[in-house]
Chain A
Amino acid sequence: MTDTIANRAAKATPQRVARKIKGLSDRAIAWIFVAPTIFLLLAINIFPLIWTIQLSFTNYRANRLNREPEFIGLRNYERILTDSDIWLNMQATAHFLFWTIALQVLIGFTLAWLINKKFKGNDLWTTIIVLPMMLSPAVVGNFWKFLYQPQIGLFNYIVAFFTGKDPSSFEMLGSVQLAPWSIVIVDTWMWTPFVMLICLAGLRSIPDYIYEAAEVDRASKLRQFFTITIPMVLPFLMLAVLFRGIENFKMFDLVVQLTGGGPGSTTELTSINLKREAFEKWRTGYASAYAIILFVTVFGLASIYVKALNKVKER
């Protein structure tokens, strides 16, 4: 008697169609619904992936359409894996990944913990803190480029104020030692609010009664923090690390705006190098092999990480 959505849909189905569907099994109907999505997935994700794998075994160049590509076996893979410059790019990427994630988790969690305390202006501070992640990476890159300018940059003047150094005596973007840190600082400034929001969601999901029970058991604040807060926020933190890790592994725009990969190749992350190989040098086959290696690396690491995340959730 109740007019459910299913009943209404059944009534609205024309008789001819209804008769045809009647003859179909549940599995067949399910396939009909899922088929468009599967088709799109195959067309947009799987086919290009297979095509890329195929290209990675050739010397194909997308700018030399009048030249027949040759099958060269594993030569592209061998070249990439034995190229010391590419390993330097990998190192630069690893440095960037490790420090951005470490700093963002540390600062993001601290901010979330502070914001979670009820105080006047709480909402205003939350809004102010999340502003950087709302900006475009290109804008942030240009903005920080000026801040880092040794002669007029505010950043250098602030450092000079605290250290007594001459502001123009150090170059954040031009020094081999400082440039890798300069990109870490900017990414941390921009994306810490994202980690903070995830942590804040985690902190607010902890029911008050758990803390009340701990209070009754006369657990200290420190003990409550390590035995309640941290374990219950950990899955959220791990999720934030996963998101930031994947994002920063393919970091491109911000670093290109800031350093262009320089000085020298100090901040040339793998994604910047890959773009140069694929769309500036037009070594399409080589770049495909490079992309496959990166894909396998990210996919492998992400799979291991997701398993660990599930284990933490199960606890």
Chain B
Amino acid sequence: MKKMTSAAVGAALMTSVSVPTLAMADDLTLCWAAWDPANALVELSKEFEAQSGHTMNFEFIPWPNFADRMLNELNSGGKLCDLLIGDSQWIGGGAENGHYVKLNDFFDAEGISMDDFAPATVYAYSTWPKGTPNYYALPAMGDANGWFYRADWFADADIQAAYKEATGEDLREPQSQREMLQIAQFFQGREIDGKTVYGASIFTERGSEGITMGVTSALYPWGFKYENTPGSYDMEGAVNSAEAVEALEFYKEFYETATPPGYTNSYMGESLDAFKSGQVAMAMNWFAFFPGLYADPDTGGDKIDFFVNPPQNQAGSTLGGQGISVVAYSDKQDAALEYIKWFANPEVQAKWWELGGYSAHNAVLNDPGFKDSAPFAGDFLEAMNDVQDFWQEPTYAELLLAMQKRIHDYVVADQGTAQEALDKLIEDWTEVFEDEGKL
């Protein structure tokens, strides 16, 4: 009898533990872009599944279609995504159009402090209106546009001697934008190991955001500003300043004199392909790809090294990265918030960095061992100190497409001058802000 009672109690206990878990278990769908860090997140999320009993599903969209697909989903009030790791520029639209759940009360209730995350990432990925303590996302993936190069070529004595002879300078990691162009031009069309190689692969893509992300990597170090006074939408003299014109002319010169033939519409994939196939000495791309590049058996390891976007008049890098938000149309918001709570945990953040994600948590970034934890970790920290992002307005897509057109027309299609391109850009942007009633 006693035995029976123990068994019954055991069964009752088992039931009491397992039944509520089963009853509360949800099928969550997390939407993001299809790229290396997404695979790391799948791996990381297994721990959440084990702890919470929820099942995680993932919807990863290739980058060129990511914005189109996800913004359509949000605009139509779709329920596909419970959690969305959306691009930083979407935060304005996400907040103002009611797509994202405001997280302030949740953060307060759960003791999640935004002070625990790198300020640049909180500003860029979480707040709307910019810089105000209104949070619509938790910084999920820190990122910036950086550079990588063929360390084995740079270390080659013959190449070094040829560079010295050609320029009178030592071949080294570029310390300025101009030096980077000089190095790229040196490699352009050079024979290395019996193969013609080229200077660098830069972003020139027309359809989504490519050329804008590339050209801002030149504009920001020259001192480009979107407005004379933040929040005033006063762009004349800022967007088309003498420095901006010089930077744009520089980017065009880079494209014309130091990139492989046919790179008229290249973005992340093309940049990676150019480097991995041994075509280019240097390439720009997001830090998110750097762990994969370092692990590449052919061009990784000792053959690769990394550097932060070089300064010119000042330091400046183009911001990438995303915050994680709860979609307002989701029926499983409680479970989605549970995921965010779990993800904000410093231990989970440490594991996130370990697996190949870029944590924005101070506990990870300020760890004394962080800089040496990967060959690009120090550069990442440096880049995140000087990042600048594109407009994050609800009309960001219109602003972005206008810039894509004006810059591509000038840089790739060789139409007009840099001054004209930037003047027209101000006209386009003014029209957008007038339509919005902000001007």
Give the B-binding residues of A (Cβ under 8 A).
59, 62-66, 85, 149-151, 168-169, 171, 173-174, 176, 256, 259-266, 276, 279-283
User: Complex Cα distance A192/B93, Å?
Assistant: 46
Q: Return the contact of B206 from the options A168, A176, A263 (Cβ within 8 A).
A: A263
A65 touches B97 (CB 8 A): yes
A interface, by DSSP: helix, strand, loop or mixed? loop
Asked whether B413 lies within 8 Å of A176 as measured between CB atoms, the reply is yes
Alpha-carbon gap, A59 to B431, bound state (A): 13
Residue from the list A151, A259, A280 in contact with B68, Cβ < 8 A: A280
B376 to chain A, nearest CB (A): 29
Interface bits B182-223 vs A (CB < 8 Å: 1, else 0): 000000000000000000000001110000000000000000
Are the C-beta atoms of B435 and A281 separated by less than 8 Å? no
Q: Which residues of B contact A176 (CB under 8 A)?
A: 413-415
Q: Contacts A260-B207, A264-B409 known; list 10 others, CB within 8 Å.
A: A168-B261, A174-B265, A174-B412, A176-B415, A256-B207, A260-B206, A260-B265, A263-B413, A264-B206, A265-B413
**Are the C-beta atoms of B262 and A151 separated by less than 8 Å?**
yes
Complex interface: stretch among B3-11, B30-38, B138-146, B393-401? B393-401
Closest to A262 in B: B206
The smallest beta-carbon distance between B99 and chain A, in angstroms, is: 9
Which 4 A-B pairs rank lowest in CB-CB distance, beginning with the nearest?
A264-B413, A174-B264, A264-B409, A150-B262
Quote the shortest CB–CB distance from A214 to chain B (angstroms).
54
What separation, in Å, do the CA atoms of A256 and B72 have in the docked complex? 19
In this assembly, does B75 line the interface, its C-beta being within 8 Å of a C-beta of chain A? yes
CB nearest to A64 among chain B residues: B97
* Bound Cα distance from A256 to B206, whole angstroms: 11
Q: Are B264 and A171 in contact (CB under 8 A)?
A: yes
A85 CB → nearest B CB, Å: 8
Across the interface, do B408 and A262 meet the contact criterion of CB distance under 8 Å? Answer: yes
Chain B residues at the A interface, C-beta cutoff of 8 Å:
68, 71-72, 75, 93, 97-98, 205-207, 260-265, 394, 397-398, 401, 405, 408-410, 412-415, 435
Chain B residue at minimum C-beta to C-beta distance from A170: B261
**Does B413 lie within 8 Å of A266, measured CB to CB?**
yes
**Cβ of B75: which chain A residues have Cβ within 8 Å of it?**
62-63, 65, 282
Complex Cα distance, B415 from A265, in Å, reads 10
| Cβ of B94 to closest chain A Cβ, rounded Å | 11
Q: Do the beta carbons of B97 and A262 come within 8 Å of each other? A: no
Given the complex of chains A and B, what is the CA–CA distance between A260 and B412 in angstroms?
A: 13
- For residue B428, which residue of chain A has the nearest CB? A85
B281 to chain A, nearest CB (A): 16
Chain B positions within 8 Å of A276 at CB level:
401
